Amino acid sequence: MSAPLLNGSGCLDALTAPDVAAQFDAFVTKTITPQSREGNPPVRIAETEAGMLNSIGLQGPGIEVFLADTLPRLAAQHLPIWVSVGGFSAADFGGICELLDGRRDIDVIELNLSCPNVDEAPESSAQIVAACRASTVKPLYAKLSPSLSDIAESARAVVAAGADGLTLVNTLRGMALDSATLRPKLARGFGGYSGPALKPVALACVSACARAVDVPIVGLGGVWSGQDALELIAAGASVVSLGTVLFSDPTAPNRIRMELEAESAARGYADPLDARGAANS
């Protein structure tokens, strides 16, 4: 079996682009929060020389509308569903997980512990994971920031608290200036940086965490080709996620899947996952 492909949370709307979503092995929702949120004021997206900045601010309908309206329509597409969960306290995260726990149409919960566009919860990532573990038996994946001072230690802490897997990495905080005014392009000033330039950072984080913990890792950050996907697997990922590339190439999932198979076969691997961890030996 080839490495599963996912979309990055917030990078695809399966309801408006079902043909793109169908190219993936599972669909990851936009991050769901306890209450509805308008998000940050525009301008919220800016292109850069080697990627993109976004400052959406977790815009969404809130958990009640998601469960009543969005989730049934997603489930009708017959794709495994990963729900990205966000909040501003451990109680927020745990409360949403409790509501999701009994839903058979949800396969995995991904905990967005590292959004750079909103205020962070006061509790540590491990405390949030522990609150969620007490609220659900569903698989929990902790999405960590590449800005952590010691991401391997953070990985150990969230796994010890009950995380079943990791998603690495979220965006980096960055800023872009208008060349004429020298003012920030984004209304909030800064945002989450993603795109090709993030790949070396993602590789380092995936490798460090793969050495530190023995759990599945979703690798994402700068994947534009099958070669990029294979490198994340070699660093220790067992699942690959596509994000920014989807904004410019809606055929990317099928293309990258074929390129991944070709790149791994050219190196003598019968399956791309046979290359997992090759960079760490």
Q: What is the pLDDT of residue 114?
A: 83
Our answer to whether residue 205 is catalytic in this structure is no
What confidence tens digit (pLDDT) does each residue in 64-116 have?
999 999 999 999 999 999 999 999 999 999 999 999 999 999 999 999 998 77
Instruction: Answer left, alpha or beta for residue 115, where phi above 0 means left and psi between -120 and 50 means alpha.
Output: beta
For the cut 60, the answer to whether the pLDDT of residue 219 exceeds it is yes
For the cut 90, the answer to whether the pLDDT of residue 281 exceeds it is no
* Better pLDDT: 114 or 117: 114
Across-strand partners of 51?
48
Cβ count near 36 (within 10 Å): 13
What confidence tens digit (pLDDT) does each residue in 128-152 have?
999 999 999 999 999 999 999 999 9
Q: What is the CA radius of gyration of the chain?
A: 18
- Hey, what long-range contacts does 8-11 have (CB within 8 A, 24 or more apart)? 8/194, 8/220, 8/241, 8/242, 8/243, 8/244, 8/246, 9/84, 9/110, 9/112, 9/143, 10/54, 10/56, 10/84, 11/242, 11/243, 11/244, 11/246, 11/247
What confidence tens digit (pLDDT) does each residue in 27-74 have?
999 999 999 999 999 999 999 998 999 999 999 999 999 999 999 999
Catalytic residue among 11, 115, 132, 209: 115
Is the CB of residue 207 less than 8 Å from the CB of residue 235?
yes
Q: What is the pLDDT of residue 229?
A: 98
For the cut 80, the answer to whether the pLDDT of residue 223 exceeds it is yes
Across-strand partners of 26?
6
Residue 120: pLDDT band (50, 70, 90) is confident
The full DSSP string for 97-131 is HHHHHT-TT--EEEEE---TTSPPPSS-HHHHHHH
Q: What is the pLDDT of residue 245?
A: 98
Residue 1: pLDDT band (50, 70, 90) is low
Supply the pTM of this predicted model. Answer: 0.96
Q: Report angle CA 119, 121, 125 to the nearest 5 degrees.
A: 125
For the cut 80, the answer to whether the pLDDT of residue 263 exceeds it is yes
Is the CB of residue 93 less than 8 Å from the CB of residue 63?
no
What confidence tens digit (pLDDT) does each residue in 156-194 have?
999 999 999 999 999 999 999 999 999 999 999 999 999
